[in-house]
């Protein structure tokens, strides 16, 4: 058995649904958010911390683990679960996003991608077969097909060319995949062109993957456009298979993603903004560095049950960040990841109770999202960092 997906409930109106994923390393309830452990660790936290927050899945990065310490070494150590001491389910991405974000450091061909390591400049070659073999060595419960994630914006001609490669590579990944205890997901691409998204969803659905991801969204396009493309894409994917929206983790995007029929999410955003002093609340994100919190003798949120909120005041967190103490990163990360676990649990309960529509409206009315300008500034700032590092 590699993966079993069971639908346990659907909201009577719309696409929102709740289910369960049974894997060789346990059962995960959906909708779910996967904290990102790029290099086999969720930054600033230990596995026990992550488990205590209620997380059931972790995402690890194929590209980074291939470069360091090497997939062969991870296999020698007993596989990724044992290597990082995480006994629960793991998903590895294919490395496609990281490879294609290398820009001038990579060359795309019909058979694969030749690229230079951002670590030492050494040359490597990823084919669908190689990406699949690396993920089999890592031994995650869910592996992803090797795809080409196009940038935003890109021309329709290039998006179509890249889509053709993604589809051919998907077939080759399926043919190369041999681990019976590992599920393989296909990835829908097509940039911002609805016709290409439709074509991709239909083509991949016919290949019989264990699950389906929607890739190439939340890469710079306006949120409204992302939601429209998501709505059109999801409806063409098999209802009996899990659906995974890649790289999306803003609270409002999770609520909207579920409303459109998505089951799984991942993103570096909650841990990254935590390390920059951004903390999630039910009313939006706050900056704990702001002087307004210097005398705040209250937790980040009064109803939050995370270790940070149960133990420390906002004033203390403000102090830690102003002094650049390492504990600040751990406490902020704990809070943000617990916030998303609480959010997905509330969404799931609302779906099963038949009140999701009310929950969605109430949440979105009370949650203040970051503006398009702020998001653009953050993307520009973070894009200058080492490729794909969380």
Q: How far apart are the C-alpha atoms of 315 and 344, rounded to whole Å?
A: 28
CA 131 distance to own-chain centroid: 19
Indicate if 93 belongs to the active site: yes
State the residue for tokens 């998907």: 170
Q: Residue 274, SS3?
A: helix
Catalytic residue among 48, 49, 93, 263: 93
Q: How far apart are the C-alpha atoms of 315 and 300, rounded to whole Å?
A: 9
Catalytic residue among 49, 141, 147, 266: 266
Beta-carbon contacts of 28 under 8 Å, excluding residues fewer than 6 positions away, are 20, 21, 56, 57, 88, 89
H or E element, residue 192: none
Indicate if 49 belongs to the active site: no
Beta carbons of 90 and 56 less than 8 angstroms apart: no
H helices present in 141-282, as ranges = 156-176, 194-205, 223-234, 251-259, 269-275
Q: How far apart are the C-alpha atoms of 276 and 267, rounded to whole Å?
A: 16
Which residues does the annotation mark as catalytic?
93, 266
């Amino acid at each position: 058995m590699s993966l079993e997906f069971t639908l346990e409930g659907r909201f009577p109106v719309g696409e929102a649904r709740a289910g369960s994923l049974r894997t060789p390393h346990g059962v995960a309830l959906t909708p779910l958010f996967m904290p990102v452990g790029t290099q086999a660790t969720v930054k600033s936290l230990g596995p026990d911390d992550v488990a205590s927050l209620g997380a059931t899945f972790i995402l690890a990065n194929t590209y980074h683990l291939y470069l360091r310490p090497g997939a062969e070494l991870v296999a020698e150590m007993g596989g990724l679960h044992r290597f990082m001491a995480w006994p629960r389910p793991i998903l590895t991405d294919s490395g496609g996003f990281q490879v294609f974000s290398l820009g001038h450091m990579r060359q795309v061909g019909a058979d694969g991608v030749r690229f230079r390591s951002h670590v030492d400049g050494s040359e490597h070659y990823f084919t669908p077969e190689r990406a699949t073999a690396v993920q089999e060595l890592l031994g995650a419960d869910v592996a992803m097909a090797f795809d080409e994630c196009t940038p935003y914006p890109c021309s329709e001609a290039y998006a179509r060319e890249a889509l053709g490669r993604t589809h051919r590579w998907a077939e080759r990944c399926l043919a190369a995949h041999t681990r019976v205890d590992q599920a393989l997901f296909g990835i829908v691409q097509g940039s911002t062109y609805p016709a290409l998204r439709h074509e991709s969803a239909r083509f991949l659905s016919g290949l019989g993957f264990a699950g389906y991801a929607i890739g190439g969204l939340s890469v710079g396009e306006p949120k409204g456009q992302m939601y429209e493309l998501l709505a059109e894409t999801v409806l063409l994917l098999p209802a009996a298979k899990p659906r995974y929206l890649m790289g999306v983790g803003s609270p409002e995007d999770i609520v909207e993603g579920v409303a459109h029929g998505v089951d799984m999410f991942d993103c570096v955003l909650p841990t990254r903004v935590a390390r920059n002093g951004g903390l999630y609340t039910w009313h939006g994100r706050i900056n704990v560095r702001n002087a307004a919190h210097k005398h705040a003798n209250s937790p980040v949120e009064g109803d939050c049950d995370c270790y940070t909120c149960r133990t420390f005041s906002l004033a203390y967190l403000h102090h830690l960040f102003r002094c650049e103490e390492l504990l600040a990163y751990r406490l902020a990360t704990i809070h943000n990841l617990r916030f998303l676990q609480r959010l997905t649990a509330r969404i799931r309960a609302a779906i099963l109770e038949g009140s999701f529509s009310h929950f969605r409206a109430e949440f979105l009315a009370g949650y203040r999202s970051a503006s398009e300008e702020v998001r653009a500034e953050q993307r520009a700032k973070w894009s200058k960092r080492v490729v794909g590092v969380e």
